[in-house]
Amino acid sequence: MLQYRISTKVAPPTIVSNTGGANSFAQESCNANTQPINYAIKTLKESFLKTSRLDSEYYQTKYEQNEHLKKSKHYARLGDLVEIKKSIEPGSESYRTSGIPFIRVSNLSHFGINQSEIYLDSADFNEKELKNLYPKKDMILLSKDGSIGLAYCLEKDLECITSGAILHLQIKDKNLILPQYLTLILNSLTTKLQAERDSGGSIIAHWKLDEIKNVLIPILNKQIQQTIESKIIQSFALRTEAKILLEKAKAKVECAIADEL
């Protein structure tokens, strides 16, 4: 009988009360391991024959507890909730200094898309291709290579092209799940743990499409989702307002310094 003994370090639990919200789900995942167990033993049947994985990190207790917690709630698999489209990877020979902005993972964050310094020539694409490649409002961009698991929900249509390392997620039924709520879950600790587990065992982090489709998404009732989405939209609006106020303050300080000189 083949067995594996896996040592893991367990961080002290942090308990934060947040009844009914998505954060409480993530907090519960953090707090799931309250016993000082830092190893797991798996037979060949329980490990490789079931998962096709032999890397010991895959079987750490925190991952199994995270999966168990998710499955104890009402959930759905990501592939059942969204249509997933791949973008393109044109290669560095197609890069230009002007044209259509080309968005890579380095330009993507939880808070938005940074200005790209790389562009593509619109002459290399026909109108139909561009229409299919341009990201649309409420579409979720999700990174699958490098910095995996970064998700951002678009507030408006964009005329740009994303790299092949960024997937386009379009929700099938908004009556079941809302885009900003789904984005929050994709950026949460519970999904990060699943992505970390899936992509382990490789030198360069890569999240396979089949694994992404199997991400477990907790489904809260529509009213709670709407409350969460409202707060997220409000937070983005306040973030934008703060940036504007900061720029105005900087301009006034610069003017004051110039007047003194």
**Would you kindly state where each structural domain of the chain is located, as residue ranges?**
49-249
Contact 122, 130 (CB under 8 A): yes
Residue 175 predicted with pLDDT over 70: yes
Residue 18 predicted with pLDDT over 60: no
One-letter amino acid of 61? T
What's the CATH fold of domain 49-249? Answer: Adenine-n6-DNA-methyltransferase TaqI; Chain A, domain 2 (3.90.220)
Q: What is the mean pLDDT of residues 147-168?
A: 96
- pLDDT value at residue 258: 86
- pLDDT value at residue 80: 98
pLDDT averaged over every residue in the chain:
85
> 0.75 exceeded by the pTM?
yes
Q: Scanning the structure block, which residue is given the tokens 């039924």?
A: 173
If DSSP states are collapsed to H, E and C, what string results for 14-27? Answer: CCCCCCCCHHHHHH
CA dist., res. 254 & res. 89, Å (int): 43
Residue 70 predicted with pLDDT over 60: yes
Q: What is the mean pLDDT of residues 137-153?
A: 96
DSSP 149: T
- pLDDT value at residue 243: 93
Residue 103 predicted with pLDDT over 70: yes
Q: What is the mean pLDDT of residues 2-11?
A: 44
Contact 174, 203 (CB under 8 A): no
Which tokens in the block code for residue 96? 């230009």
Question: What is the DSSP secondary-structure string of 31-73?
Answer: HS--S---EEEEETTTTHHHHS---GGGG-HHHHHHHHHHHTS
Contact 227, 221 (CB under 8 A): no
Cα–Cα distances (Å) from 8 to 28, 36, 40, 200, in that order, read 19, 10, 9, 15
- What lies within 8 Å, CB to CB, of 32 at 6+ separation is 62, 65, 66, 68, 69
3-state secondary structure of 93: helix
State the pLDDT confidence band at 16, using cuts at 50, 70 and 90. very low
Q: What is the mean pLDDT of residues 22-40?
A: 56
State the pLDDT confidence band at 91, using cuts at 50, 70 and 90. confident
